[in-house]
Structure 1
Amino acid sequence: MSTQNSLSVDLVAESTQDSALRNSGLDALRASLTLLVIFHHCAITYGAIGGWYYHEVAPEKSLASVVLVLFCTINQAYFMGLFFFLAGHYTSRSIERKGPARFLTDRFLRLGVPLLVYGLLIGPVTIALAQTSQGHTFVGTLSYLWHKGTFESGPMWFAEALLIFSVGTILWNLAFRRRDASPGNRAIQGKLPSDLMLGVGAVLTGVAALALRSFWRVGVNVWGLQLGYFSSYVVLYSAGFATAHAHWIERLPKEQVRLWWRIALIALPILPLVYFIGGHFPGLRGRPLSVIYAFWEPFVAWGTILFLLDGFQRHFHKLVGLWRPLCRRAYTIYIIHPPVLVAVALTWRHVPAYPLVKFVATGSLSCVLCYLTAGVLLRFPRLASIL
């Protein structure tokens, strides 16, 4: 039941004790994307395509469903990739500051423990809650899931993936430590990616996506991971890690941001247009659409990611008002949002209302409730040390 969305990468940033080293713009961006995750899953609840615990409105050809499908498709193109890029960026600095052993210990604590808690408790509870809409009892379903030994990773697939990436990064560093430390390699790391490099990276990412999807089509899970999306995740995580020393993310060239944002805007309507035209020309559906989708994603993603990174850093020089507690609670909000969102949707499922109205209302109320609940949970010192 997992979707390739995500969780706030507050878990991959430095600890709250290092707030002086934090980038307020990136913190605000992570928090905003975490709330977007809630709305993403809310869209699936009310008519978009995707895996989620509770579907109140099935995907159809109505205007509301089309709008929500487009909303989720555009989200999927960039926001998980952005999370992985930030993860790679912070990983580089964290390894240098903590060392390999302490870094991995921290990752297993902050990623592994929440993953286990979600898989064994929160995930089954959410499934049982959603099943009440089908006439099943909450307690009966939950007992059955626990008796069967169900482990439901759900959106915490991202924590699982980051654990794998973290271990892989440490092994890479140990294997190539001398080469990475050479003056020539440090000079390469200090260079900013050119537009040509970004373009070649986008094309190769599309090629890799096609290769992966020939084995695991979009929607197929392997241990909770949709491997068909992982070409961009690996590329962006690696890019974040490789450019950390150059501080590229903090000093993005304005010309580069403008160029790739224009490219994203030009590419954006291509996929929807091909899809709708395919309704009249069936030959465009199937393999041609899959090829377009594979290359469409990175070209939309690169520009959107650069645009958001640049915009948030320019507008958030410091966190004020609700932004500070929201950033602190983002990871917790992500972990607890599935049962909260499902519960809110179930509460007024019998009330007749336009799906887009329900989408806005349910998503907004769920964000507020998750924010308040996260604040309560973080009052417990042991939870706060992990979350």
Structure 2
Amino acid sequence: MPELAAKTDTVYGASQAPSATLSSATPSAPARDFYIDRLRAVMTALVVLHHTAITYGASGGWFWNELKPSGTLSSLLLTMFVATNQAYFMGFFFLLAGYFTPSSLERKGYGQFLLDRFLRLGLPLLAFGLLLGPLTTGIVNAATGDGFWPCIQYLWNHREFINGPLWFAQALLIFSLAYCAWRAIFGMPLAGARRSPKPVPGYGWWLLSAVGTAVGALAIREFVPVGKNVFGLQLGYFAGYIFLFAVGIAARRHDWLRQLSWRNVRPWLRTLIIAFPAMPIGIAVARAFHSGGKADFSGGLSWPAILYAFWEPFVAWALIGAWLLLFRKYMNQPSPLWDWLNRRAYAVYIIHPPILVSISLALWHWTAPALIKFGVTGVLTCTACWLLSDPLVRIPGVRSIV
């Protein structure tokens, strides 16, 4: 597909052809890392389902909550689904974005690279904050009887900027600027930069990084708990995001993604089996022993907050490693369907809020169990988002951004 060929370097982590040196060393390697593109599309669908789960009773912030979090089985299951996603999938996006950042900067130079980042990240962020965010809020207000246009007028009059899920673009733009500054300050040349393959770090390094990330998250959450936004960013999660973006950069330089093996990941899968139940057990204990059945997992140094901070990286490292290995083995071949899905993934990420909210509101009065509504709404929203993204990515000018 010609339009796909023009999108090999994206903010969303699309793959590029391997270097000539690497290709000569591994002649059987594919021309593109297709599996990374596939992962991008799957993680995008998970983002849509993540917000669908919050709509129907999982904990979390979203434009429209048909059901509030409760002690019902469906609410707890959806909350665990959301918590598991949150533990790794946005950090996974940052890792993949970091993986392609060095080569993009070295190929384009500072000026072109930053211009590209502002176009590909800044313009969608502005479009969402000024148009799609207010539109989504207005749709909810209209459905609940408060009026569409009064809401839009209020947001405009009060200069409310709603970044919604485009906080990711905002954060990635900041990370890209920081990386450029770091390269410039430490005098690392852009021209002639080479990979220096090194073995994937061992279990001890992974363990130390998980503990360090958890401690960093606890330190941040002491001042900015989970759920509190600072300039539209939930800084409570940024210890993991920053670390994984840096890991992506290092993985590119040292060729870690191609060297990653089950020997590296298998110990973390065993760790996952032990660590994963700790969160539902913790939630159950908190509900049983804390006043009102509530405990603060969001910040401070209470045992629930410590449990949550450590649970995230111990779950994330295993899931990220497993996704990479499974997709590298089974999803690394050309596929027209996957190419179609991959090319529209970034557009889906941008436009999914008003579509999800509209579909869930259309089904508001449908009497069905929460899990059934979650499944139906999630499938309808994913289908609608990809179909509506198709003409969007064909519009001249727009297609060079999304």
CA contact (8 A) 2:14 2:37 kept: no
CA contact (8 A) 1:120 1:152 kept: yes
Identify the structure with bigger relative contact order (alpha carbons < 8 Å, sequence gap 6+). 1
Q: 1:133-172 maps to which residues of 2 (within 5 A)?
A: 133-172=143-182
1:282 partnered with 2:290: yes
Instruction: Indicate which of 184, 201, 206 corresponds to 2:209.
Output: 201
Partner of 2:318: 303
* C-alpha distance in 2 between matches for 1:278 and 1:27: 40
Partner of 1:379: 394
Cα separation, partners in 2 of 1:182 and 1:100, compared to 1, 3 Å: closer
Partner of 2:92: 82
1:265 partnered with 2:262: no
Larger mean CA deviation between 311-320 and 228-237 belongs to 311-320
* C-alpha distance in 2 between matches for 1:320 and 1:263: 34
1:23 partnered with 2:60: no
* C-alpha distance in 2 between matches for 1:327 and 1:374: 11
1:314 partnered with 2:303: no
CA contact (8 A) 1:271 1:293 kept: yes
Partner of 1:5: none
Residue 163 of structure 2 aligns with an amino acid whose one-letter code is: S
Cα separation, partners in 2 of 1:351 and 1:285, compared to 1, 3 Å: closer
CA contact (8 A) 1:109 1:386 kept: yes
* C-alpha distance in 2 between matches for 1:347 and 1:32: 26
CA contact (8 A) 1:88 1:237 kept: yes
Larger mean CA deviation between 197-206 and 280-289 belongs to 280-289
1:193 offset after TM fit, Å?
1.7
Partner of 1:11: 11
CA contact (8 A) 2:58 2:79 kept: yes
Number of residue pairs matched by the alignment: 376
* C-alpha distance in 2 between matches for 1:74 and 1:212: 20
Flag structure 2 segments of 5+ consecutive residues without an equivalent.
1-8, 19-29, 297-301
Name the TM-score, length of structure 1 as normaliser.
0.92
Larger mean CA deviation between 131-140 and 335-344 belongs to 131-140
Instruction: Indicate which of 200, 213, 223 corresponds to 1:215.
Output: 223
Cα separation, partners in 2 of 1:182 and 1:351, compared to 1, 3 Å: closer
Larger mean CA deviation between 194-203 and 91-100 belongs to 91-100
Instruction: Indicate which of 117, 120, 128 corresponds to 1:107.
Output: 117
- Alpha-carbon deviations, 1:133-177, whole Å to 9, x = none? 320222232232223222110000000000000000000001112
1:68 offset after TM fit, Å?
0.6
Flag structure 1 segments of 5+ consecutive residues without an equivalent.
1-8
CA contact (8 A) 1:44 1:50 kept: yes
Name the TM-score, length of structure 2 as normaliser.
0.88
Larger mean CA deviation between 173-182 and 94-103 belongs to 173-182
CA contact (8 A) 1:14 1:22 kept: no
Instruction: Indicate which of 351, 372, 377 corresponds to 1:362.
Output: 377
* C-alpha distance in 2 between matches for 1:10 and 1:77: 24
Instruction: Indicate which of 137, 149, 165 corresponds to 1:127.
Output: 137
1:96 offset after TM fit, Å?
1.8
* C-alpha distance in 1 between matches for 2:199 and 2:16: 30
Instruction: Indicate which of 31, 39, 44 corresponds to 1:34.
Output: 44
* C-alpha distance in 2 between matches for 1:297 and 1:128: 34
Residue 339 of structure 1 aligns with an amino acid whose one-letter code is: P
Cα separation, partners in 2 of 1:23 and 1:101, compared to 1, 3 Å: same
1:246 offset after TM fit, Å?
1.7
CA contact (8 A) 1:190 1:243 kept: no
1:300 offset after TM fit, Å?
0.5
CA contact (8 A) 2:58 2:78 kept: yes
Residue 357 of structure 2 aligns with an amino acid whose one-letter code is: V
Partner of 2:68: 58
1:81 offset after TM fit, Å?
0.9
Partner of 1:4: none
Residue 376 of structure 2 aligns with an amino acid whose one-letter code is: A
- Alpha-carbon deviations, 1:168-209, whole Å to 9, x = none? 0000001112599999x976x734222111111000111111
Secondary structure at 2:287 match in 1: coil
1:323 partnered with 2:338: yes
* C-alpha distance in 2 between matches for 1:134 and 1:157: 26
1:21 offset after TM fit, Å?
5.8
1:242 partnered with 2:250: yes
Higher helix share: 1
* C-alpha distance in 2 between matches for 1:339 and 1:178: 43
Runs of 4+ residues deviating >4 angstroms: 14-18, 178-183, 283-286
Residue 261 of structure 1 aligns with an amino acid whose one-letter code is: L
* C-alpha distance in 2 between matches for 1:15 and 1:242: 16
Give % identity. Answer: 44
